């Protein structure tokens, strides 16, 4: 049997993960699933620094909690020392802190927020629902990006936003059940009722719940968009 054609090795992708662990696993699974491959050797070369000890991003942004920047700097250094040529971070909220860390680094940084906004523009969307953590919303990282792209955004009601934060906690603690999925469906239904037929799943824990959006809801998944962009850039020479 003739030997299959082998692609040249990809650029080395560094994943700064652990925020949280389930979201990192979900992102890597999407990266593997969406890499065109006929054999192991066709997949991307990846190194993961998964550090769940990074201080709580919500507390840092909302309550003057410990700044996670030193942990992020350490993680980026570990990835670069391991030979990473591209760095990605499958956590939306932490981009309020990681963007300054990545400025001037000798590697390519693929920003999950920018990548998501690009996907929204590419789909021609003019109004979206924004499902993001309290910390991400307080930082304004998504709102500024969508505003700059001329895209209107709708937030959940305070009651549903509190429900969203409980969903995020459920994923982080591994307690996802039928009630969790029902609450997710209710969130999407409320967003739709407020004039946004498409929701941006602006938290990677939320992304893990929307592999198959309930009720046929239309969702832009930042983790998926980041995975697709990473595959593209890792194969770019």
Residue 73 has pLDDT above 70, yes or no: yes
Calculate what percentage of the chain has a pLDDT beyond 70.
95
Instruction: Respond yes or no: is residue 224 known to be catalytic.
Output: no
pLDDT in tens, 134-190: 999 999 999 999 999 999 999 999 999 999 999 999 999 988 888 988 999 999 999
Instruction: Respond yes or no: is residue 203 known to be catalytic.
Output: yes
Give the model's pLDDT for residue 2: 43
Selected catalytic residue, list 91, 96, 196, 209: 91
For the chain, list the domains and their CATH numbers: 13-111+225-234 (3.40.50.1860), 113-221 (3.40.50.1860)
Selected catalytic residue, list 203, 209, 219, 224: 203
Query: Rounded CA gap, 37 and 116, in Å?
Result: 25
Residue 62's pLDDT band (cuts 50, 70, 90):
very high
The phi and psi torsions of 166 (rounded to 5 degrees) equal: -65, -35
Tell me the pLDDT of the chain averaged across its residues. Answer: 93
pLDDT in tens, 94-133: 999 999 999 999 999 999 999 999 999 999 999 999 999 9
Give the model's pLDDT for residue 237: 63
Residue 210: partners with Cβ closer than 8 Å, 6 or more residues away: 184, 201, 217, 219, 221
Q: How far is CA 58 from CA 28, 105, 183, in A?
A: 24, 25, 21
């Amino acid at each position: 049997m003739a030997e299959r054609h082998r692609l040249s090795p990809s650029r080395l992708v560094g994943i700064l993960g652990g925020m949280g662990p389930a979201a990192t696993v979900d992102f890597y699974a999407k990266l593997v699933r969406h890499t065109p491959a006929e054999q192991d050797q066709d997949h991307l070369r990846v190194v993961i620094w998964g550090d769940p000890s990074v201080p709580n991003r919500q507390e840092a942004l909302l309550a003057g909690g410990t700044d996670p920047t030193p942990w992020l700097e350490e993680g980026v250094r570990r990835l670069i020392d391991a030979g990473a040529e591209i760095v990605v971070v499958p956590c939306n909220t932490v981009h309020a802190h990681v963007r300054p860390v990545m400025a001037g680094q000798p590697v390519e940084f693929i920003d999950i927020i920018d990548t998501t906004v690009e996907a929204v523009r590419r789909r021609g969307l003019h109004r979206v629902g924004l499902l993001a953590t309290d910390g991400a919303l307080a930082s304004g990282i998504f709102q500024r990006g969508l505003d700059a792209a001329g895209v209107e955004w709708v937030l959940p009601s305070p009651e549903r936003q509190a429900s969203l934060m409980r969903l995020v906690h459920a994923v982080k603690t591994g307690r996802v059940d039928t009630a969790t999925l029902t609450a997710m469906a209710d969130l999407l239904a409320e967003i739709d009722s407020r004039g946004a037929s498409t929701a941006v799943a602006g938290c990677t824990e939320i992304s893990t719940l929307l592999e198959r959006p309930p009720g046929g809801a239309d969702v832009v998944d930042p983790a998926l968009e980041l995975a697709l962009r990473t595959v593209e850039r890792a194969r770019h020479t």
